[in-house]
Structure 1
Amino acid sequence: LFQVIIALAEKNRSHIPYRNSMMTSVLRDSLGGNCMTTMIATLSIDKRNIDESISTCRFAQRVALIKNEAVLNEEIDPRLMIVQLKKEIQELKDELALVTGKQRTSELSQEELLQLDELIETFLEDDDPDSTLDVGADMRKIKYCFVHVKQLMNNSKISDKKMLSQHISEEKDTNKEAGEELKKLKELLQQRDNEINILVNMLKKEKKKAQDSLFHLNAASAGSTVLEQSLSINLEESQSPSSCFSLKEAKDFSSSVHRLPFLSRQTGGKMSLGCQEAFEVFKRDHADSITIEDNKQLLKLRFAEAMCLGEKLNEVRNKINHLKGEITQRHIQRAALAVSNPSEELNMLDPVEEELRTKIEEEKKSYKSMFNRLKGLKVEIEHLQLLMEKVKMKLQKDFEMWWSEETTNLQV
């Protein structure tokens, strides 16, 4: 008990040892609870108990230092509390209306709300740092102003976030497009480098061939006259389509190589200019180039023959129609003659009509012969076209394989 009394007397103590004894546990609410407790100390005046009396007085002195502030713990009925608060609110409203001379409602009118909106807008647009928003002492107006400003701030933040996200997405799209464009340009540049290297190698080979050919011709010639003749022959041979590169072709080819970096690649399955130059040289030196040229010439001849046969067929058809018209005219003349001369016999064969019919039969035979020939030409032309298509596909495939090998060798 003495330890509990000391702990209660010291206000800064956070722990009270009520559990040290049964008595302090029972007297817990009486000593430090919400109650007023009176403790009576008894003394003995006997001389033998003087020490105990002094100790009791000291204990009573310590107990006197304990001060409990008891609070009335009476509970009020909630319904009764609500009635009292409503009555108090009404009294305050009546008192406020008596002081201001205005009767206030629970909500602001539409005119007051519009006026507050205008005041808030003017306050926000004012650049003066000393400007104030004066709406009076009405708490309803003050609360409305705070709520309205909060809504404006939230809307502004939302719009800023949307604009920022839109700007970020646009930047991402722009960066993505720029990256794709840069990748395409790098691939195009690499392709141009490969084309230039391949064409330069081809040009060197063609120049070497031309120099070797010129060297052999010069070695075989004897004397200046023979040398001039050999040079003229070499020049004529170099100008032919089947010869090697001439000096002029080499210059043109070299100039086309220098122009390659400035040329743009055509899309849609078309080859670039460098590929076209290389393809022309490859096609000229390919083993099937002679076959292609022969088939072209033969195809031209067959087309010309077919067109000539078509014109002749039209002429024969027109001639047959003309002969048929003459026979019809002859029938009309004989019918008119029979009407004018009934005694004339019409059963006799007309030699003129027989001659016309004979000519028609001859023309029909000629027409049939030319038509059969035209059908044969059609089959032959289709066959030649199919062969040329196969040769072209083979040539294209060989060129693609050769081009890929050259590109791989350059990259290695």
Structure 2
Amino acid sequence: MTKAVAMRPRVLAIAEAANPEWVSVPLVGWSLSQALREQADVHLVTQIRNRDAILRAGLVEGQDFTAIDSEAIARPLWAMAERLRMGEGKGWTTLQAFNALIYPWFEHLVWKTFGADIKAGRYDIVHRITPLSPTIASPLARKVSAAGVPFVLGPLNGGVPWPKHFDTERRAEKEWLSYFRSAYKLLPGRDSTVKHAAAIIVGSRHTQSEIPAQYAGKTVFIPENGIDPARFNQTANPKDDMLRACFVGRLVPYKGADMLITAAADLLRSRRMTLDIIGDGPMLGELTNLAGSLGCEEGLTFHKWLPHHEVQSVLGRSHILSFPSIREFGGGVVLEAMALGVVPVVVDYAGPGELVTEETGLKVPCGPRSEIVDGLNKILTELATDPAQLRPLAKRAQARVQSHYLWSRKAEQIRQIYDWIQGDSGSSIPSAFSPTLEQTSAR
């Protein structure tokens, strides 16, 4: 029997990380949960560390959101994880391993708080938005499913393999556990999570490939990152007297800022290009010395860290986002650049490689370091001959963000998933919900 689809489903949105004042995963959790309010009656459940920022954003506690205090377990374990990661910004896999231990307690408290309401049918859907990592099991999935309420999981993303030519960078990032990452598939609760999910949203092709084959028919590919037009609402207007490039990201080995400086050195020395680097991190001193040794400091500006709302002011003076990261799960900065009409130049691997098309940007094949540097140099040299040639790409990039990657568009896509699972969750997900829905269900 097919159930009637509610006009506005009542959704319990679980986003342990959801914060309007932070970036990365917390901003994804916040942005998606709030965009869904246009499509559903959403009650956000998050961790207490986000409470004050959410109150400042205007939400009403108890009515719009609930903050769960899991600090008794989370605080000491996170402190231990920080000590073991061996450096600021390092050891991401180590942090995720600890999160796999910490997070179930949060969901235990969520069920303790909302279990009775879920069993009583006061919510039509329970949607776990964050954590994004596919290694973090959800004890709630089985309980919610047993209560007869559909459980939606995702977007899931992460675990992109390190390119084989960059093992030195892998060790520099203290990614020792990444050699054993696939062991997460054997962890208790992993199979139960995907088995009891009514739909699984995946943020990358790699993550989708890790979903067991028997559950592939309920996966939908929707890249995790999106754009809030209230945050990125300008249009780039660079001067065409020379090529103007910008890099935005943490200054750590895998982001590739050293490859970019090396590739651009000749152009910077000859005043045919400028390069703004926005970000801070442990490689700042090394990158500064590299620029000095190459004699290209004149056209290079290190802005260090800038508040998120100031990034677009610098980025908007650029023709291109030069972003040679070799292991990027999502690539939110790529979408931010496209939203401004700044053409992305990326390494064709993982998140950026999936977001950038031939019509909207330029891609360098992912090979050894020397090949990436040479590929970047060739692209930059060609673009420097006439930066105005980028205008058609810039317009198409901006248009693609509007049609595919606004948070409002993602919320519309997810609403279609909600409607599907409420209508008849026994059939396979349709091959396409709408012209803008990126969908890759197995047949």
Same-fold status (TM-score > 0.5): no
Q: TM-score, normalised by structure 2?
A: 0.19
Task: Pick the structure with more strand per residue.
Answer: 2
Tell me: higher relative CO, structure 1 or 2? Use CA pairs within 8 A at least 6 residues apart: 2
Q: Which has the larger radius of gyration?
A: 1
Higher fraction of helix = 1
